[in-house]
A = this chain, B = another copy of it.
């Protein structure tokens, strides 16, 4: 049996022509699937169909026959394209009736919010199949619906607006499914990601040889290489959440022991935040000197709220003149060794350290491409340097990918170098 299919409990039906034309990427489906997995509720299948009553009804009917539990998203808006209500009513052979109290609420909302009468077309949003339950939407105007048949098979409809959907998954869908016993008999799936950067996947594999002994049905392990580095993802299945947590922690400890300091954080940890925290706790101020990244490193660091108590500023030294004038890089070194060289990156870091009177300065200069590469200095060649107090560490890296990836990896590598020096 497959991982996902083992406790097949619900199916998702996502509705909207946009999905079939490829204008929209189905992030809602992924979000629901992940949140349900964390609650031990398995998704057996996801289907996307267009805005057509018959097709929606067919997809819902098939899913209902297979698993008896269907969640739909989309098609609850006020326009004539929004047909989920009609399709679901058809599947269950029910009439659509106006929910007067909801209609009243909507009219009120329009008056208060927009200072005018609700357009009559919005009336559709107050239609609910006979015998169905309205699921209040605290995040927008279209309510969800819960409808079931005499055999207990049910459909939950949710809106397609991502913010509304995410809200209703938490405050409505998960409690509702748990009340109905979903996930109770099933396994709980939990996952943990350990983030590394600057270490090749093959090297990680060598380090992890024999470390994850029980891989199999209940424990899965994946290398996820990306532009931030290689993430190590552990996924466990267990009878309940406590057991899953326990197994996850045990496996994570083994991983940590083997991989060591290359791990900079967990799950969605951001290296910029990790570095800023390390500097903050040591009362160190940070500045940057950027050539090929053109401000990206500064942007990464300042994307973290509260970075202003650590990060002071920097120089974007894109042209050679700026490197000389603003960072006191030697014109002769630029000429002799080129802008992408150990000599220049050192002087950039020292220049920034002095100019901004900081403890920590990070410098980057490289060939981001796609043009400008030579045999000696190919596209992807980047020099980074961290100056921390008196310690100055330049590093040469050969990056890959497109211009944006090379720049992103360069900023990541510079932050990682400083993090390691501080560790």
The interface of chain A, by Cβ under 8 A from chain B, is: 1-5, 17, 19-27, 29-37, 42-52, 55, 59, 62, 189, 191, 233, 235, 288, 290, 292-299, 301-303, 305-308, 311-319, 321-322, 326, 355-356, 369-371, 403-404, 407
Contact = CB atoms under 8 A, between A and B. Distances in A.
A31 B24 CA distance: 10
B305 A288 contact: no
Contacts of A314: 295, 315-316, 318
B316 A315 contact: yes
Contacts of A47: 45-48
A31 B20 CA distance: 10
B37 A21 contact: yes
A295 B305 contact: no
A326 B369 CA distance: 30
A317 B315 CA distance: 9
A21 B34 contact: yes
Contacts of A4: 17, 20-21, 50-52
A112 to B, nearest CB: 17
B319 A1 contact: no
A47 B302 CA distance: 41
Contact of A45 (B33, B55, B313): B55
A308 to B, nearest CB: 6
A7 to B, nearest CB: 11
A296 B294 CA distance: 8
9 contacts: A2-B55, A22-B32, A24-B30, A46-B48, A292-B302, A296-B299, A303-B403, A305-B369, A314-B315
